[in-house]
Amino acid sequence: MQFSDVLSEVLRRVDIVDIARRLGLVIGKREAQYTTALCPFHNDKTPSLALYRQPGNPHFYCFACGARGGVLDLVEKQHRESRTDSFRWLAQEVGVDLPDGMRRGQARDLGSATFGDWMVRHNRDDLLRDFADRRNLDMATLASANAFAVDLNELKVDDLTPGERTAMELAGVLTLRREKLVPVATGRQIVFPVEAEQGFIFRALNDSAEGGKSRRYRFSKGFRKSETRQLSDSLRAHPRPESPGVDP
């Protein structure tokens, strides 16, 4: 089982209101869509934090200070621990065993899962279909490669929770450039997650988007480029008018 599957299972089991209570938050009223609590992100006097129980995606939003995030951000905030330690605590609370093999490098894997979640929310099927059509690939091929099409200009670092930022930095998706944290690629990209590497290959959709310095392929930080051969081979197994050019 992939670590991201374990993450999903934990999130599926979590009752964010119950977890918030165990984290020492003062719970307020139960509304139709959410349950309120005193917000730990600002000096809250009346419960302004909305806790959304949504299965698989337990999250919160503060109507007063705008804080938002997933249940892990709440754990991280209350325990003042790393995201990995927060996750370990959460898994234990909901009775999910972490397989031993997943302990090594799990912070990076968790980061990949966080970026994966972002891609699921921002996936552009129209771009993916267009890419497949132009390369004479079928959607099933892209699906089996678990490819996503996203516009990375929509990945606003300032809008991410501290936990998400850290996780994506660990995954090598965000990197420091001129003392600013930015995505490793910009604009519309086809993204191929490479599970074995816990890394990502970014393939630019419009080469002119990055001006003169455009580069078709980019990689998450710390990515071993030999892994691209595997992807290249799997795409080559299908008819296409021209080489997908996955080799670096």
DSSP letter, residue 187: S
Are residues 190 and 157 in contact, defined by beta-carbon separation less than 8 angstroms? Answer: no
- With DSSP H G I counted as helix, E B as strand and the rest as coil, what are the percentages for the chain, rounded to 5? 45, 20, 35
Angle 116-121-124 from CA coordinates, rounded to 5° = 100
CB nearer Zn ion, residue 42 or residue 122 = 42
Interface residues with Zn ion (CB under 5 A) are 39, 41-42, 62, 64-65, 67
CB 46 to Zn ion: min, Å: 11
Q: How far apart are CB 54 and Zn ion at their closest, in Å?
A: 19
Q: Indicate the DSSP class of residue 87.
A: H
Nearest approach in angstroms of CB 10 to Zn ion is 25
Closest separation between CB of residue 66 and Zn ion, Å?
A: 7
Cα distance between the two ends of the chain: 30
Other CB atoms within 10 Å distance of the CB of residue 7: 23
CB of 27 to Zn ion, least distance (A): 15
Cβ proximity to Zn ion, 67 vs 194, nearer residue: 67
Nearer to Zn ion, 42 or 165 (CB): 42
Of residues 41 and 219, the one with the C-beta less far from Zn ion: 41
- Amino acid identity of residue 13, one-letter, is R
Q: Which is nearer to Zn ion, 62 or 74 (CB)?
A: 62
Residue 64 Cβ vs Zn ion, minimum distance, rounded to whole Å: 5
Chain-centroid distance, C-alpha 151: 14
Burial of 227 (C-beta count, 10 Å sphere; 0-12/13-18/19+) = middle
**Angle, vertex CA 181, rays to CA 81 and CA 4, nearest 5:** 50
Residue 44 or 109 having the CB closest to Zn ion: 44
